[in-house]
Amino acid sequence: MSTKSYVRTEMLPEKAPPPTEVGIIGWMKENLFSGWLNSLMTVITAYLIFWVLAAILPWLMNSVWNAGSLNECREILQGEAGACWGVINERFNQLMFGFYPENLYWRPVLAFVLMFVALAPVLFNPMPSGLKIAWGVFLVIGCWMLYRVGAPGLAYVVFLVAGGAFFLDRLASKMVWFSALFPFLAVWLLWGGTAWNVTMALFGFVIGYLVYRFLSPAVGFLFGLILAVLITVAWWLFLAGPVAATLAGSIPLELAPVESRKFGGLTLALMLGVTGIVGSLPLGIVLALGRQSDLLIVKSLCVGFIEFIRGVPLITLLFVASTLLNLFLPPGTEFDIILRVMIMVTLFAAAYMAEVIRGGLAALPKGQYEAADALGLDYWKAQRLIIMPQALKISIPGIVSTFIGLFKDTTLVSIIGLFDMLGWANAIRANAEWTGIVWELYAFIAFVFFIFCFCMSRYSMYLERKLQTGH
Amino acid sequence: MKKTVFFGALAVAGVAAGAVAAGTLDDVKARGKLNCGVSTGLVGFAAPDANGNWDGFDVGVCRAVAAAVLGDPTAVEFVPTTGKTRFTALASGEVDMLARNTTWTFSRDVDLKFEFVGINYYDGQGFMVPKSLGVTSAKDLDGATICIQTGTTTELNLADFFRANNMSYEPVPIETNAEGQQQYLAGACDAYTTDASGLAATRASFENPKDHIILPEIISKEPLGPLVRHGDQQWGDIVRWTLNALISAEELGITSANIDELAKGTQNPEINRILGTEGDLGAMFGLDKQWAYRAIKAGGNYGELFEKNIGENTPIGLARGLNAQWKDGGLVYSPPFR
């Protein structure tokens, strides 16, 4: 048998796969031309892409960056197609800051940079090492912005402090305190005036906490809480103002005040967007829990609120904020228009948020609730330790979608006469120099919005990966 | 129950708001600033420039009033209003006056409880067509497709005009003037119709304005003017006569260049009365003698404002037309200062 020569005793060497199955050709064959239908689609798509690029690329390549008016652009272009970015160049500050006084630009920029410093410990805990590089890059950009708007000294300070804090991991966890203080700091930076106003507003929380801390053992949890809230509100309404005024009289601590009418452009969009996002999440959670509650009044209030807000377009609410409230409030009431819009936007987003989170709650298996009960946890502990962490994780894509939608919805304020970026686009085009310009302005605005929305979307994917507990 | 309480509260607040009445002049003086409602942006009439300063024909009226009342043409807080928010902004007291190319109509004057103090621009609806269409009169537009802004009086005017002339047309609805420009240039419609001043401004922004003509027919009356709330006659008088002072100044030849010379006293008693060198007209509505002097000096007389913002030497290039002084065959006419 062993003399039979046709039995192979050694392996044949591997042959290279046929060239049509590997490399670019193989990839194309598999992904682009795997059948006659796919081949047809590929050809059509390729043609469409070519067609779009053929229209856009020459226009982009032929950009004019320095021109004082549309006609000047046209003269430079000599009848050829080309983008006239001169308008962005000339009106960049207005698109970013609105009417904000030019010598105070460092304040919104500083607030913007500090916002990320404040967000980082909340969003990334602990910060992944890959992101530290991105963070460093962002800090450099932020400080460069501060430098550009005329606050070089401040740029160095922020760079050193914020940079140092994040590369020393031990400090990073302490930064949460800064996150809690940031809203007050931002209000002071943006609107100016005396620092005592926000300090006293902040002090209200301290008072509330102290009251709760020392009274609740004596009068019980619920009464302690109610008393704390009442005393805090009373402090804000009646005492905080006079005390702040008195303190400001002796130690001014003042920044030049800026009226709400001066806000505009991207600054306004970010202010509305961030307030809405930060405010709507906790409010949404409370509403979602309220809607599932067994307490009749709580439940009907929550259902009524959610259904009412969701049944009304945001535009209507904005009109209520801008015009109806004006008619109903007693004349002479100074109720800041931006504050009114912020409240409306937050309430609007909160109603949607509540339903997104309710979806997460509904997706949670009943066993989880029962397990929490079996462990003897009370309602709040069960929510905090078992239910919410899982429900929120499930809801992440929906939550971030709501955030992105909310941020884009801020452009609607241009309809009630606030100058956000779209409002400015209209105003800029009402100048004799720039009337007739369309694509450049809107392309720029779209680009700016894309950056923010894309970052939010990427962050939500990062968060989903981080919280992934499946196998 | 909850709703009743809510609406009750609103009603009480509404009654309280109704009490917003006399004393606009005192309010403005106490504030040190005039709150003036303007458009969020309309070529030639109101727009913020590259430095954030408002400029335009309507803005000029605001500045004149501020100069007359407060002595400083820059003491104006410009409140941008849209077509939808303008009337509530005025009614609620958010602005002291509205100078926002608003058409004076019966219902706005009577039903909305406003007071139009005069007319600073006589506008009317017109048509723009490409020259290549070979049309020279709106009467030739039978069967044409026409781009038109929806929800405006222009839509109704157009329907009236075509029905009266027994012609048909195909409307292409658009939302904003900017969209209208794009649609018209892209050839989506044969003609574009809106206010003649708007047409001129639109045409001026085209790459080749000479390829388009504005037809001679004006099919509607659009008298645009500043307005104030009902109920404060003194304030209404101040705004009305500030506008009249600008108009009379042009008629009498008072310009921002020669006003200082004329303010020393002239042979013409009316000039003297306007500029406060004779009599004391200002005291009659609570201002000083020099109020009109300051108003005219702020941005020039009516004609100067017109030429600077929308006149023939600007990109918009509007002819005076109906807005010429009555002596020159226009409609602009101020009652005498006496």
Q: What is the 3-state secondary structure (H, E, C) of chain A?
A: CCCCCCCCCCCCCCCCCCCCCCHHHHHHHHHCCCCHHHHHHHHHHHHHHHHHHHHHHHHHHCCECCCCCHHHHHHHHCCCCCCECHHHHHHHHHHHHCCCCHHHCHHHHHHHHHHHHHHHHHHCCCCCHHHHHHHHHHHHHHHHHHHHCCCHHHHHHHHHHHHHHHHCHHHHHHHHHHHHHHHHHHHHHHHCEEHHHHHHHHHHHHHHHHHHHHHHHHHCHHHHHHHHHHHHHHHHHHHHHHHHHHHHHHCCCEECCCCHHHCCHHHHHHHHHHHHHHHHHHHHHHHHHHHHCCCHHHHHHHHHHHHHHHCCCHHHHHHHHHHHHHHHCCCCCCCCHHHHHHHHHHHHHHHHHHHHHHHHHHHCCHHHHHHHHHCCCCHHHHHHHHHHHHHHHHHHHHHHHHHHHHHHHHHHHHHHCCCCHHHHHHHHHCCCCCCCCCHHHHHHHHHHHHHHHHHHHHHHHHHHHHCCCCC
- Please judge whether A327 and B314 are an interchain contact, meaning their C-beta atoms are less than 8 angstroms apart: no
pLDDT score recorded for residue B97: 96
CB nearest to B47's CB, from A328, A330, A427: A427
Q: What is the number of structural domains in chain A?
A: 2
Residue A440 lies in a domain: yes
Residue B175 lies in a domain: yes
Buried b / exposed e along A142-165 (16+ C-beta atoms within 10 A): bbebbbebebeebbeebbeebbeb
| Least reliable range by pLDDT among A60-69, A297-306, B71-80 | A60-69
* Parent domain of B172: 125-220
Does the pLDDT value for residue A414 go beyond 80?
Answer: yes
Using a CB–CB cutoff of 8 Å, tell me whether B180 touches chain A: no
Quick one: average pLDDT of A91-116?
Answer: 90
- Please judge whether A436 and B77 are an interchain contact, meaning their C-beta atoms are less than 8 angstroms apart: no
Using a CB–CB cutoff of 8 Å, tell me whether A297 touches chain B: no
| Shortest CA distance from A430: residue in chain B | B43
Using a CB–CB cutoff of 8 Å, tell me whether B77 touches chain A: yes
Quick one: average pLDDT of A184-191?
Answer: 91
Residue B182 lies in a domain: yes
| Shortest CA distance from A75: residue in chain B | B207
CATH number of the domain within which A434 lies: 1.10.3720.10
Residue B78 lies in a domain: yes
Q: How far apart are CA B44 and CA B84, in angstroms?
A: 21
pLDDT score recorded for residue B6: 40
Residue A169 lies in a domain: no
- Please judge whether A436 and B93 are an interchain contact, meaning their C-beta atoms are less than 8 angstroms apart: no
pLDDT score recorded for residue B72: 94
pLDDT score recorded for residue A437: 86
Task: Tell me: do B308 and B235 sit in the same domain.
Answer: yes
CB of A417 closer than 8 Å to CB of A400: no
Contacts of B16 in chain A (CB under 8 A): 330-331
pLDDT score recorded for residue B115: 94
Contacts of B82 in chain A (CB under 8 A): 415-417
Task: Tell me: do B132 and B103 sit in the same domain.
Answer: no
Quick one: average pLDDT of A25-29?
Answer: 85
Quick one: average pLDDT of A398-416?
Answer: 93
Residue A33 lies in a domain: yes
More confidently predicted of A197 and A175 = A197
pLDDT score recorded for residue A45: 95
CATH number of the domain within which B180 lies: 3.40.190.10
Determine how many CB atoms are found less than 10 A away from the CB of residue B189. 21
Residue B307 lies in a domain: yes
Task: Tell me: do B152 and B273 sit in the same domain.
Answer: no
- Please judge whether A436 and B48 are an interchain contact, meaning their C-beta atoms are less than 8 angstroms apart: no
| Shortest CA distance from A335: residue in chain B | B94
Q: What is the number of structural domains in chain B?
A: 2
Residue A172 lies in a domain: no
pLDDT score recorded for residue A274: 94
pLDDT score recorded for residue B22: 52
Q: How confident is the model at residue A236 (pLDDT cuts 50, 70, 90)?
A: confident
Give me the percent of chain A exceeding a pLDDT of 70. 94
How many interchain CB pairs under 8 A, A with B?
112
Quick one: average pLDDT of A366-374?
Answer: 92
In sequence order, the β-bridge partners of residue B174 are B149
Residue at a domain's end among B167, B200, B220 = B220
Q: How far apart are CA B59 and CA B46, in angstroms?
A: 6
ipTM given for this complex:
0.82
Residue at a domain's end among B195, B220, B245 = B220
- Please judge whether A330 and B93 are an interchain contact, meaning their C-beta atoms are less than 8 angstroms apart: no
| Shortest CA distance from A415: residue in chain B | B82
pLDDT score recorded for residue A208: 86
- Please judge whether A431 and B47 are an interchain contact, meaning their C-beta atoms are less than 8 angstroms apart: yes
Residue B278 lies in a domain: yes
Task: Tell me: do B319 and B227 sit in the same domain.
Answer: yes
Residue at a domain's end among B204, B220, B236 = B220
Q: How confident is the model at residue A18 (pLDDT cuts 50, 70, 90)?
A: confident
Torsion sign across C-alpha atoms B229, B232, B235, B239 = positive
Residue A223 lies in a domain: no
CB nearest to B41's CB, from A261, A327, A430: A430
C-alpha pair distances (Å), A351 with each of A295, A355, A356, A367, A391:
19, 7, 9, 27, 17
Determine the distance in angstroms separating the CA of A462 from the nearest CA of chain B, rounded to an integer: 40
Task: State the 10-residue block means of pLDDT for chain B, 338 residues long.
Answer: 40 42 84 92 88 92 96 94 85 90 89 93 93 90 89 83 93 81 88 89 83 90 92 94 96 93 91 91 92 94 94 86 92 93
Task: Tell me: do B117 and B236 sit in the same domain.
Answer: yes
| Shortest CA distance from A79: residue in chain B | B207
- Please judge whether A438 and B178 are an interchain contact, meaning their C-beta atoms are less than 8 angstroms apart: yes
Interface test with chain B among A435, A439, A442, by most B beta carbons within 10 Å: A435
Residue at a domain's end among A87, A104, A121 = A87
Residue at a domain's end among A87, A111, A136 = A87
Using a CB–CB cutoff of 8 Å, tell me whether A76 touches chain B: no
Determine the distance in angstroms separating the CA of A223 from the nearest CA of chain B, rounded to an integer: 25
Residue B276 lies in a domain: yes
Residue B216 lies in a domain: yes
In sequence order, the β-bridge partners of residue B115 are B228
* Parent domain of A425: 262-471
Contacts of A435 in chain B (CB under 8 A): 43, 201-202, 204-205, 315
Using a CB–CB cutoff of 8 Å, tell me whether A320 touches chain B: no
| Shortest CA distance from B46: residue in chain A | A430
Using a CB–CB cutoff of 8 Å, tell me whether B22 touches chain A: no
Contacts of A331 in chain B (CB under 8 A): 16-17, 19-20, 92-93
Residue B10 lies in a domain: no
pLDDT score recorded for residue A53: 94
Task: Tell me: do B84 and B44 sit in the same domain.
Answer: yes
| Helix locations, B194-232, DSSP H | 196-204
More confidently predicted of B35 and A244 = B35
Residue A148 lies in a domain: no
Q: How confident is the model at residue A4 (pLDDT cuts 50, 70, 90)?
A: low
pLDDT score recorded for residue B314: 86
Using a CB–CB cutoff of 8 Å, tell me whether A322 touches chain B: yes
Note if the bond before B173 is cis, omega within 30 degrees. no
Using a CB–CB cutoff of 8 Å, tell me whether B38 touches chain A: no
- Please judge whether B205 and A322 are an interchain contact, meaning their C-beta atoms are less than 8 angstroms apart: no
Determine the distance in angstroms separating the CA of B46 from the nearest CA of chain A, rounded to an integer: 8
Contacts of A429 in chain B (CB under 8 A): 41, 43, 178
Contacts of B312 in chain A (CB under 8 A): none
Which of these, B71, B42, B72, lies nearest to B59 by C-alpha position?
Answer: B42
| Least reliable range by pLDDT among A163-172, A237-246, A312-321, A427-436 | A163-172
Range with top average pLDDT, A19-33, A183-197, B26-40 = B26-40
Does the pLDDT value for residue A309 go beyond 90?
Answer: yes
CB nearest to A330's CB, from B16, B39, B89: B16
Residue A7 lies in a domain: no
Residue at a domain's end among A87, A120, A142 = A87
Q: What is the pTM of this model?
A: 0.86
Task: Tell me: do B73 and B197 sit in the same domain.
Answer: no
Using a CB–CB cutoff of 8 Å, tell me whether B94 touches chain A: yes
Q: How far apart are the first and last CA of chain A?
A: 53
CB nearest to B205's CB, from A419, A428, A436: A436
Residue A10 lies in a domain: no
CB nearest to B80's CB, from A323, A419, A428: A419
Quick one: average pLDDT of A173-189?
Answer: 85
Task: Tell me: do B111 and B43 sit in the same domain.
Answer: yes
Interface test with chain A among B40, B59, B74, by most A beta carbons within 10 Å: B40
CB nearest to A416's CB, from B14, B85, B204: B85
Task: Tell me: do B74 and B216 sit in the same domain.
Answer: no
Q: How confident is the model at residue A88 (pLDDT cuts 50, 70, 90)?
A: very high
| Least reliable range by pLDDT among A71-75, A360-364, B123-127, B326-330 | A71-75
